[in-house]
Amino acid sequence: MSIAVVLPYWPDRPPLEALDIAAAAERLGYDEVWVGEMATFDAFALAGAIAMKTQLIPITVGPLAVAVRDPVALALGVSSIATLGGRPAHLALGLSTPVVVSAWHSRSWEGSGSRLRETIPPLRQLFAGEKTDFDGEHISTRGFRLRLDASATTITVAAFGDATIATAGRLADRMVINLVTPKQAAALRAKLEHAAVNAGRSVPPLAAWLAVAVDPTEEARQQIRSMLVVYLAAPGYGEMFIDAGFGSLVERARGGTHPKELLAAISDEMISAVAAVGDEATVRKRIDEYHAAGVDQVAVVPATGGDAGAERTLAALRPR
């Protein structure tokens, strides 16, 4: 059983808190730190700072939207982190959401699933020290070779739907899921196993991001509510929320209800369904439920409201 830390980017907290959380993750003995990307730091820039600030903890950058960066850009980024940190760095890829891809970055959301499948083969070429030689429907790259070593880099795929799970089972070193119940995690694990067997491969490990707060303040609960609002209407995430029994909220989000109204409508029941809040024993029990469901690594996303740098939560949940 593995436990990692995901850097949270709570909009009500100082952005540089991310560095403190990464340092705490290493100091407290967590297995890995995940560096995603939202509305503050460029993920590779922040991961580079973390690589210089820490000594040993493995760093995974992402999941990053495959429609936003091409394989060469992704390989340059992750190989830079590996070189700066003097240790392997890893990459996670996903489809992200139409808001991030189209509204923010002016890229086409259409075909993201195919783009995901086509991004991985040229990355494998680059990580093997080869020149790129790939032509697909969405991705075409030829003649580029990395000058930095990324030979130990692994690729994680974020997946919910059958198509992305099939890609993970066939091509990825690991799959990651987010904002799901333990029951849903078990079902997704079964689909991953089926996809891997069909591809004639060993089953990749499964990681799950889980928002957590030990002895949470109301501010911490509000942070988790605000995160749920962001994902209510998103493809994949919305379907998971519907399956978990919160379809009316998804319908309202997709119908244009104002985020403030959605925030007020998110109940403690919904938080408890897809997050882990309470005293240490309660949160650890919840983490164990995900492990029992077939999750190999729980990556905690710590709330920091009333817990600067997530010190209380991370100290309580440190690996034993």
Per residue in 297-318, pLDDT tens?
999 999 999 999 999 999 999 9
Amino acid type, 160: F
Residue 55: its pLDDT value, please? 94
Amino acid type, 159: A
| Mean pLDDT for the stretch of residues 276-292 | 97
pLDDT in tens, 156-166: 999 989 999 99
Residue 182: its pLDDT value, please? 97
| Mean pLDDT for the stretch of residues 66-86 | 97
pLDDT at residue 33 greater than cutoff 90 = yes
| Mean pLDDT for the stretch of residues 271-284 | 96
58 vs 46: CA distance, rounded Å: 14
Residue 116: its pLDDT value, please? 96
Residue 225: its pLDDT value, please? 96
pLDDT at residue 320 greater than cutoff 90 = no
Does the pTM surpass 0.85? The reply is yes
pLDDT at residue 264 greater than cutoff 90 = yes
| Mean pLDDT for the stretch of residues 10-18 | 94
Top-confidence range, 100-109, 129-138, 230-239? 129-138
Residue 109: its pLDDT value, please? 87
